[in-house]
Amino acid sequence: MMSDETYNGWSNYPTWCVNVWLANERPLYEETRYRVDAMMDEGRVAVADAIKGFVVDELVPDLGASVAANLLGFALASVDWFELADAWLEDVRESAVH
């Protein structure tokens, strides 16, 4: 039996969760849009790397060696950074048209 791992239209819960935080907190939304806009001409892979770097390197606290760090690492490894890049690229492009 195959299970459906999608969540609210996203590939999985961790991807949805990261997007919710980036999109629903005004400062994070503006910073993410700024970074995506700056990387648009570099392509999808560069945008995905930029979003991942922002989240993993700047937003996630250093939890040291702990159960929480291991679980957070597992969740972040499950994020579909390309799906996030596609969604944010579309958002930036649509706002440029309007």
pLDDT digits (tens, 9 = 90+) for 63-92: 888 999 999 999 999 999 999 999 999 999
Q: For residue 95, name the pLDDT band (cuts at 50, 70, 90).
A: confident
pLDDT at 3: 58
Q: For residue 37, with 0-12 CB atoms within 10 Å meaning exposed, 13-18 middle and 19 or more buried, which class applies?
A: middle
- Residues facing 32 on adjacent strands: none
- Written as six digits, the tokens of 92 are 């930036």
Cα dist from 67 to 1, 57, 58, 71, 80, whole Å: 31, 19, 20, 6, 23
Domain coordinates in residue numbering, the chain: 13-97
The Cβ-side half-sphere exposure at 53, using a 13 Å CA radius, reads 10
Q: Which residue has the higher pLDDT, 96 or 37?
A: 37
Q: What pLDDT digit, counting tens, does each position of 38-68 carry? A: 999 999 999 999 999 999 999 998 888 899 9
Does the pLDDT value for residue 9 go beyond 90? yes
pTM for this model (two decimals): 0.88
The phi and psi torsions of 20 (rounded to 5 degrees) equal -60, -45
